[in-house]
Amino acid sequence: MIRRTLIYAGDNGDIAVPIAVQSPRKGERDWSCAYEIGWPDGLRHGYGYGVDATQATLLALKAIGTDLYTSDFHRSGRLRWLEPGDGYGYPVPKVIRHLLVGGDADDEG
């Protein structure tokens, strides 16, 4: 399992937003890679699916990036990883690259 913790600047102080990605698992026809995001308002579960473990993992990471960049927490400007406004370090699909900020925009631009 791999983990990263983002921070949401809440009204009453910082709130940890843990992200966990499980090791990919082989199914009957494909691979899956489960992840969870511990949002301040509840846990979000998701999966990436692929023809092999690498593709499943990459698609799970892109799904996390999509969840982050399309969230109300991101839109609020109060979500951060290392520095405010510098992104979260997750890839996103091409269709939403215009949402990237900071280092994420530089890396994916």
Report d(CA 97, CA 94) in Å as an integer: 5
Given a cut of 90, whether residue 12 has pLDDT beyond it is yes
User: Does position 109 have pLDDT exceeding 70, yes or no?
Assistant: no
pLDDT at 108: 58
Q: Is 79 exposed, middle or buried (CB count within 10 Å of its CB: 0-12, 13-18, 19+)?
A: buried
Residue 104 CA, chain-centre distance (Å), reads 12
Provide the token pair at 41. 């308002």
- What mean pLDDT do residues 61-77 have? 97
User: Identity (one letter) of the amino acid at 64?
Assistant: I
pLDDT at 75: 96
Mean pLDDT of 61-88: 96
Q: Sketch the domain layout of the chain as residue ranges.
A: 2-108
What CA–CA distance (Å, rounded) separates 40 from 88? 17
pTM check: above 0.85: yes
Q: Provide the pLDDT for residue 32.
A: 98
| Triad 96, 81, 39: Cα angle to 5° | 75
For 17-58, how does the pLDDT look when each residue is reduced to its tens digit (9 = 90+)? 999 999 999 999 999 999 999 999 999 999 999 999 999 999
